[in-house]
Copies of this chain bind each other. A is one copy, B any other.
Amino acid sequence: MTTTENPVHGKGGQHITPIIEDYLKAIYTLEQREGQVRTVALAEVLNVKPPTVTAMLKTLANFKFIEYEPYRSVELTEKGRLVALEIVRHHRLIELYLVEALGYSWDEVHEEAEVLEHFISEKLEARIASYLGNPTRDPHGDPIPNLDGTLPDSPSVSLADFPPSARVLRVVRIRDQNTERLRYLAKIGLMPQTQIKIVAVEPFDGPLTIQIGTRKTPLDRQLANLILVEEIES
């Protein structure tokens, strides 16, 4: 065996595993949510210990999926971002498909998609997207990345940031994957596309009161933060 490097893959990385995909997705998500990617944060998200993350960061850097300066920073390269977005696309397409074609409720889809996202072929991805009419949103209102790695634009004003007014708001997205909370929201009728009004806002970051249809409901401020809305054009 000579020491000649494989010209295609370069040293280190042989092929992309589901675990590598998980790391890239987690890095992508943290970049979006926190603006930075820290080792402990990654370790928590991925349910591993920090040294495991460090080891994998080196692998990812060898693949040229990230730029990595030890003790300093982690940043996805274009190449890494594309892989992450492909997995996110799979995830969200699968979630929507399970709801539309197989009668899943929106609180059931996350776990299933979390696994299958790594294993559907390009062909199955295409058939699912086509069956769904090339959608841009999953059941939680999360944008589905396009094939080329671009994202459909996505309003991002939190319900918690609106002052009460007579204006009607449309729920566009719910940034939560927790089964219990999603079930609760479905029960009170608060889902993407639902139209609501803000009736009152308690001071000192207290709960909101919102109106869904004709019914008024109090809504925890933390939860309101995860609900993205837009004003309805008239």
Contacts and interface: CB of A to CB of B under 8 A. Distances in A.
Contacts of A118: 119
A124 B102 contact: yes
A123 to B, nearest CB: 7
A175 interface: no
Q: Does more than half of chain A's interface fall in helix, strand or loop, or is it mixed?
A: helix
Copies assembled: 2
B119 A102 contact: no
A116 interface: yes
Contacts of A111: 121
A184 interface: no
A74 interface: no
Interface string A118-159: 111101100110010000000000000000000000000000
B123 A115 contact: no
Interface in A97-115: 98, 101-104, 108, 111-112, 115
A197 B172 CA distance: 61
Nearest to A103: B127
